[in-house]
Amino acid sequence: MKIEKRKFGNTGHKSSAVIFGAAALWNETQSTSDRILDLLLEYGVNHIDVAHIYGDAELRIGPWMDNHRKDFFLATKTYERTYKGARENIMRSLDLLRTDHIDLLQMHGLTNPSEWDEAMGAQGALEAIQEAKADGLVKFIGVTGHGWTVAAMHKKSIEHYDFDSILLPWNWLMAHHRGYPLDFNNILDLCRKKNIAVQTIKAVARGPYAAGMKKTHTPWYQPLEDQESIQKSVDWVLSLKDIFLNSVGDVNILPMVLEAASKLGERPSDKDMNAMSEKMGLASIFGV
């Protein structure tokens, strides 16, 4: 079954509810990457989210664009804070992705206040992205971030500039962690009023790797790896019908996330999610 499509904010694009998080291609071969493309097409995924700092990911996606550019809403990110750095990143991304335009250029990981001031100020990254948009190299502009302060920082960003999208963490555990759910719902309400697309990450995060534990998957955190838990987690996140789930950064877990999204069920109850949380030992990946 194909994954359902949802309106991606004010862009006019209907994106698959699951957006392909191309961090999964960080250190993969071209043959593995091509196999992933076939999987995306099979499930109807039509939106790719990559970043300049995701290892070889942009390089691996480039050959797909030769024949499939029209099939994907293509998003990438710059982690640079200066005009010069961001401009160089944009041009490099266009070259690696083998395209004449990027649909969504995002300011990556913008949660540090001093970095925010630099990126938003004179000769900052935002100026370079706006210039690229005026030149037709970029269509839309977004902002992303991790950690417990991200929702509050996104509010500050949106009040400063009319961004087209945001990206931030959201899962059942985070929805029950101190003040984060209040901040998340506040930014979600603001985005709904302004018709800003909301992308979420870490839907299938299990927790940090314990000290001395062997790392078994690509992401820096330990993901869920059984279909039942992944199904519940995906059902829970995507029960909010106007948000998106950016997929896990691991090519072996990805098929289970796509399968779960293609078979969306009812929102699991808090009782069911709490039982799953206890069984799987869910823990914060962002500290206490």
Q: Which domains does the chain have, with CATH numbers?
A: 5-280 (3.20.20.100)
**Residue with tokens 């789930």, as numbered in its chain:** 245
**Distance between CA atoms of residues 80 and 170, nearest Å:** 25
Given this model, what pLDDT does residue 121 score?
97
Given this model, what pLDDT does residue 213 score?
79
Given this model, what pLDDT does residue 42 score?
97
**Residue with tokens 């043959």, as numbered in its chain:** 31
Given this model, what pLDDT does residue 140 score?
98
Given this model, what pLDDT does residue 84 score?
98
Given this model, what pLDDT does residue 188 score?
98
Q: Which stretches in the chain have pLDDT values below 70?
A: none
Given this model, what pLDDT does residue 108 score?
97
User: Where are any strands of DSSP class E within the chain?
Assistant: 5-7, 14-16, 18-21, 47-49, 73-78, 102-107, 138-144, 165-169, 197-201, 205-207, 222-223, 243-246
Q: Do 10 and 166 form a contact (C-beta atoms < 8 A)?
A: no
At 245, give phi and psi (nearest 5°).
-115, 115
**Distance between CA atoms of residues 107 and 79, nearest Å:** 6
CB neighbour class for 48 (10 Å; exposed up to 12, middle 13-18, buried from 19): buried
**Distance between CA atoms of residues 173 and 107, nearest Å:** 26
Q: What tens digit of pLDDT does each residue of 240-250 get?
A: 999 999 999 99
**Residue with tokens 């808090």, as numbered in its chain:** 270
Q: Is 197 left (phi over 0), alpha (psi -120 to 50) or beta?
A: beta
pTM of this prediction? 0.96
Given this model, what pLDDT does residue 83 score?
98
Given this model, what pLDDT does residue 280 score?
95
Strand 18-21 to 165-169 pairing: unpaired
At 169, give phi and psi (nearest 5°).
-75, 145
CB neighbour class for 93 (10 Å; exposed up to 12, middle 13-18, buried from 19): buried
Given this model, what pLDDT does residue 45 score?
98
**Distance between CA atoms of residues 181 and 42, nearest Å:** 34
